[in-house]
Amino acid sequence: MRERPSSPDAAGSAKVSEIEPSAALVSDVVGRLIEFWGFKRSMGRIWSVLYLSPEPLSAEDLRHSLSLSSGAVSMTLGELLRWGVVRKVWVQGERKDYFAAEVQLWKMISRVLNEREKAEIAYAIETFEEAIAKLEPALRGSDAAARERARLQKERISQLLELARIGHRLVETLVSTAKLDAEPLVRFLLRASGASSPSSPSSPH
């Protein structure tokens, strides 16, 4: 890890306040993707800047780089730390906190799947099962129209329940795979996607 000066001068401050065009583009698009998945856009932007930085950054560095308020940076860093996609890093000679991003992407994704998506799917399964149970009185009732309506609802809710169970098994598989370190597989797939290039051997059909 590279040591940072204990008291950055004006030139150092100017340096961290600038963000490269490439990093700005990545920060914006990751922010959009994160927002699409239900997280705050600033979480994706801050993680991207940390991910692309060769050294840990302070909250002040991030505030200058992304033109965010101190409160927004502090709150976002707290959320990223809670999700385990950012960690605090000790920098010799510095009293303030510095941060670095989780760089094992598969590990990061699996953690989010395990802590958020799996819980949501489990809740959906419980709710679908409860909804089916509530249809039982109507299914046993004497009203033919109500029985038919309940039968239709049970059939369609059962389809949603099976879909949720499949999703739960898929997430379980992904999380289990991540524990075994799927990074080599991901790298293999990425290489395979470029197998048609002139310098790469032809992929088998």
pLDDT tens per residue, range 22-44: 888 888 898 898 888 788 899 98
Residues 140 and 124 in one domain: yes
H-run or E-run covering 40: none
Residues 63 and 132 in one domain: no
Cα 60 to its chain centre, rounded Å, is 24
pLDDT of residue 190: 63
Instruction: List 100's β-bridge partners, or say none.
Output: 87
Q: How many domains does the chain have?
A: 2
- pLDDT tops 90 at residue 127: yes
pLDDT of residue 192: 65
Buried b (16+ CB within 10 A) or exposed e, 45-80: bbbbbbbebeebbbbebbbbbbebeeeebeebbeeb
Assign residue 72 the CATH number of its domain.
1.10.10.10
User: Of 194 and 136, which is predicted with more confidence?
Assistant: 136
Residues 180 and 137 in one domain: yes
Residues 67 and 43 in one domain: yes
For residue 3, being part of any structural domain is answered with: no
Residue-wise pLDDT tens digits, 101-112: 988 777 777 777
Write out the residue range of the structural domain in which residue 131 sits: 105-193
The residue among 54, 69, 101 that closes a domain is 101
Count of C-beta atoms within a 10 Å radius of residue 86: 23
Residues 112 and 189 in one domain: yes
Residues 28 and 49 in one domain: yes
For residue 202, being part of any structural domain is answered with: no
The per-residue pLDDT of the chain, averaged, comes to 79
pLDDT of residue 2: 41
For residue 199, being part of any structural domain is answered with: no
The residue among 44, 74, 101 that closes a domain is 101
The residue among 101, 131, 157 that closes a domain is 101
